[in-house]
Chain A
Amino acid sequence: MKSLKTYAILYLIFLYAPIFLLPLFAFNSSTIIAFPLESFTTEWFTQLLTLSEMHGALLNSLKIAVTSAVLATTLGIFAAMAVSRYSFPGQKGIMGFIMLPLVLPEIIVAVSLLIVILRMGLDTGAWSVIAGHTLICTPFAIAILQSAFAALDPSLEEAAYDLGETPASTFRLVTLPLVMPGIISALLISFTISMDEFIIAFFLTGAEPTLPVYLFSMLRFPKLLPAVMALGTILVVLSILLITIAEFFRRRGAKRTGNDTGGFL
């Protein structure tokens, strides 16, 4: 038992310690990433404000992440509703197919998408990154929304219908408010995944890089390395914040409908 405990602790350190180095060097005044640390500074954060190229990349990433999140969540709502409300032939197979990007190597997705786009004689750009990100975000959105729909007692919808509502107004007045926490959660998770994603963005981004792609290109300039650390720190904090908010909404929804199934945290 004791050795297992030690193992678990070592494992966690190995996994997360590098992330803690990020803020450590982001606030270190030396341009060289090495111990011992020199003195505390916020210079690298102010330097970020001057990098106009980075601002363009950030804006790009935000546009792509918001669009991908909305698309993935919308598709996710349809899929999750279809799966939890109806049973149809080939249901398991179809769902497995939709969930495939969860385990498919991203590099495969990226390369195949690139080939298809070029073969079709189209240019890559923000739209192609959005397509790729929607593809990989949809399974996550479905997983979250499926738990939200599964937790929804079908007789709630029947009750609304029985009380004189139409299918459309039943969806608006009962279904939607009750799965809303799941929808918010799916939006936030998809947004986070798209913001952080590198491989697909790297292959499909064209002339306007996303933030992770821009970050990667900056690594070639040692002088900018501390600023990269600062940007990385901001991204890590934002990701943790968003995922926490997402989980908060998911749990609140689960609590209200009475049962907690699934979820990622």
Chain B
Amino acid sequence: MADMTADKPLISLQNVNKHYGDYHALRGINLDIRQGEFFSLLGPSGCGKTTLLRTIAGFEDYDTGSVMITGRDMRGVPANKRPTNMVFQSYAIFPHLSVIENVAFGLRKSKMSKTDKTLAAEAALEMVGLKGYGHRAAHALSGGQRQRVALARALVLKPKVLLLDEPLSALDRKMREQMQVELIKLQREVGITFILVTHDQEEALVMSDRIAVMFEGEIAQCDDPEVLYRKPNSKRVADFIGVMNFLPATVRKEGETYLATIAGLGETEITEAQCPGGVPVGEATVGFRPETLTLLYEGQSATHREAPAVVDEVVYYGDMTYYDVRFEGVEKPVRISMRNIFGRDVLGVGTKVRVSWSPGALVVFDQSA
């Protein structure tokens, strides 16, 4: 896990800018990545996350700013001289070489003896769960196996940083979830800093110590998964990470307290801590996660507040049911996630319900943000 006491960051980017012609691909990127951290760059396609990764790897030049790795300025240092290794999206397994030749490829120039190289490559293969696969032809491997070979090939060089460019996107769902867990374990085992690029917010939440969310070449927020999920600093980040419901509200100040009147939910007091962009007095938007709301069954009462609603849509997932409900006077439905408990019926569309909500779980955004 992240070593929080390390005073010097392993990688430090300062005000990095990059243009492709007129297109501003990276806008003033400031980022510190710590030794031993599992770090993710998350964002929709075209947000610059891959460009940023390739900038760290040395495949892309940047216009202004600085990239430091282990305190060394990386300007002018090409990819083959950097203490980073990359796992490519397509895995880039050399199809004309065997598995062991692929893994040992990077050791070609090392001063190790031939037997040591083979031993190191075999150890790397064993680490990724491919013991005994060394003499197979690389082009005959499955997607998951290629992925492992790519990992072994990069890790055998013991880089300071392992860069992973959407490494799981080509795998099917089951395989992907399995590899997520394996990657986390592997990262803990080797203690190398991993930087993962992904567009899959769930993947980023599951795997990372910290996540930088990027939009249009900028880092919108950089935090650990829990903070990112609970306290997104903008509507956009909130919308990108998981499901977030939004309702219009107006905020006013009365003495030392702030009061928000939320459509369908009524009036409640809010604190400054709930407003990541400062308290937006006047027009505002409140956001809340589906799991912070609960449908109240007969005999149950709300722990905090409750509001009447009508079930608009029911999505049954087996372990969970998603209810889209409409609060009184609000056109837009709000999503509520409920764990299905034995003996409790799934409600039908059109059912009038009471919804329990807690003011503390709200996040208040500026209308425009």
Q: Are A156 and B109 in contact (CB under 8 A)?
A: no
Q: Are B92 and A155 in contact (CB under 8 A)?
A: yes
When distances are taken between beta carbons in the complex, the residues of chain B under 8 Å from A166 are 80
When distances are taken between beta carbons in the complex, the residues of chain B under 8 Å from A258 are 95, 139
Among A156, A165, A173, contact of B92 (Cβ-Cβ < 8 Å): A156
Interface size on A, residues (CB 8 A): 19
Chain A 217-242: CB-based contact to B (< 8 A → 1; otherwise 0): 00000000000000000000000000
| Identity of the chain A residue whose Cβ is nearest the Cβ of B104 in the assembled complex | A163
When distances are taken between beta carbons in the complex, the residues of chain A under 8 Å from B89 are 155
When distances are taken between beta carbons in the complex, the residues of chain A under 8 Å from B9 are none
Instruction: Report A's interface with B, CB cutoff 8 A.
Output: 153, 155-156, 158-166, 173-174, 177-178, 256-258
A117 to B78, CA, bound (A): 48
A30 to B84, CA, bound (A): 77
Between B84, B89, B90, B96, the greatest number of chain A beta carbons within 10 A of the residue's beta carbon is seen for: B96
Q: Are B139 and A159 in contact (CB under 8 A)?
A: no
Q: Which B residues between 64 and 100 are near A, CB-CB below 8 angstroms?
A: 78-80, 84-86, 88-90, 92, 94-96
Instruction: Report B's interface with A, CB cutoff 8 A.
Output: 57, 59, 78-80, 84-86, 88-90, 92, 94-96, 105-106, 108-109, 139, 153-154, 157
> Can you identify 17 A-B contacts, CB atoms within 8 angstroms?
A153-B92, A158-B59, A158-B79, A159-B92, A160-B105, A162-B57, A162-B59, A162-B79, A162-B80, A163-B85, A163-B105, A163-B153, A163-B154, A164-B157, A166-B80, A256-B96, A256-B139
Q: Are A178 and B96 in contact (CB under 8 A)?
A: yes
When distances are taken between beta carbons in the complex, the residues of chain A under 8 Å from B157 are 163-164
Q: Are B90 and A153 in contact (CB under 8 A)?
A: yes
A156 to B90, CA, bound (A): 9
Q: Are B106 and A174 in contact (CB under 8 A)?
A: no
A155 to B153, CA, bound (A): 14
A173 to B105, CA, bound (A): 10
A90 to B243, CA, bound (A): 48
A180 to B132, CA, bound (A): 29
**Closest beta carbon of chain B to A262's beta carbon, Å:** 19
When distances are taken between beta carbons in the complex, the residues of chain A under 8 Å from B85 are 162-163
When distances are taken between beta carbons in the complex, the residues of chain B under 8 Å from A165 are 80, 108-109
| Identity of the chain A residue whose Cβ is nearest the Cβ of B84 in the assembled complex | A162
A258 to B154, CA, bound (A): 23
When distances are taken between beta carbons in the complex, the residues of chain A under 8 Å from B108 are 164-165, 173
A156 to B109, CA, bound (A): 18
Using A155-B90, A164-B80, A256-B95 as known contacts, list a sample of 6 further A-B pairs with CB atoms less than 8 Å apart, ordered by residue number in A. A159-B94, A159-B153, A160-B105, A162-B80, A162-B86, A166-B80
When distances are taken between beta carbons in the complex, the residues of chain B under 8 Å from A177 are 96
A155 to B108, CA, bound (A): 19
When distances are taken between beta carbons in the complex, the residues of chain B under 8 Å from A178 are 94-96
When distances are taken between beta carbons in the complex, the residues of chain A under 8 Å from B92 are 153, 155-156, 158-159
When distances are taken between beta carbons in the complex, the residues of chain B under 8 Å from A158 are 59, 79, 86, 88, 92
**Closest beta carbon of chain A to B112's beta carbon, Å:** 13
Q: Are B79 and A156 in contact (CB under 8 A)?
A: no
When distances are taken between beta carbons in the complex, the residues of chain B under 8 Å from A155 are 88-90, 92
Ranked nearest first, the 5 interchain pairs of A and B with the lowest CB-CB distance are A163-B106, A159-B92, A155-B92, A155-B88, A177-B96
A231 to B363, CA, bound (A): 88
When distances are taken between beta carbons in the complex, the residues of chain B under 8 Å from A163 are 80, 85, 105-106, 153-154, 157
